[in-house]
Amino acid sequence: MNNAMPWYKQAMTAFFSHCWLKAFGIPMLIGVFFVAYFYLLRNPAYPITVMSLTALDRLISFQPLALPLYISIWVYVSLPPALLTTRRELKFYAMDLGLTCLTGLIVFYFWPNTVPIGDIDWALSPAVGLLKDLDAAGNACPSLHVATAAFSCLWLGHRLRRIGTPRWVLALNWLWFVGICYSTLATRQHVVVDVLAGLVLGLTAGWLSLRWRGVGHGHGHAQHP
């Protein structure tokens, strides 16, 4: 990609690169994940563990207005692959993110867990209540919401640096990521232990992915048909 081109034009060029593969591939991967996720959620193989609250959990109040941030994960995790320009990078991204999710699913199979039942009247927050009905706040630790956001944050930051984005865009990436992490606690979908475990999983997987794949270090620059 031409580094003399403004970063926003590079981003648009990348967005339309292999656009059909991205348009069908990303939703398909998300769909496969949800099939496995909800199967384990509704068919636990072992007794379900209720996660413990920490002092920080008690300090963070329930905030239904954090729901849009929570849901924004689906836009956020779509940004890194949208900015990739080669099939090689797309393949590596999909494989490594898939392995990250698979790790979480394996944990959920052998150690089903859930967040404690709170004393919140969900009827007063129908949107969050609907989320609770769909997700049931199970398969909580590690938080794959946080893990996939952390993985995406590292890949997105890497890609943004490659196209020369200004610092405020890089800062926005991290602010969005932190906001998503906060939203998992503020909507009572997760507790602090879940978030910390998700951070360890996602940041480790993202760092290893970028390091092992050699993305951005002399590899993967040639366009593939």
- Which pLDDT tens digit goes with each residue over 110-123? 999 998 877 666 66
Q: Measured in Å, how far apart are the chain's first and last C-alpha atoms? A: 15
CA distance 140 to 117: 13
CA distance 159 to 3: 13
Q: Where are the domains of the chain?
A: 19-213
Please write the tens of the pLDDT for every residue from 72-122. 999 999 999 999 988 888 988 999 999 999 999 999 999 999 988 776 666
Nearest to 108 by CA among 181, 197, 41, 202: 41
Is 80 exceeded by the pLDDT of residue 138?
no
Cβ-proximal residues to 12 (8 Å cutoff; 6+ apart), any chain:
none
Is 90 exceeded by the pLDDT of residue 158?
yes
Question: What integer pLDDT is reported at residue 224 of this predicted model?
Answer: 34
Instruction: Tell me the whole-structure pTM to 2 decimals.
Output: 0.86
Write down the H helix ranges in the chain: 7-15, 19-42, 55-59, 67-71, 73-76, 79-82, 87-110, 126-135, 144-162, 167-186, 192-213
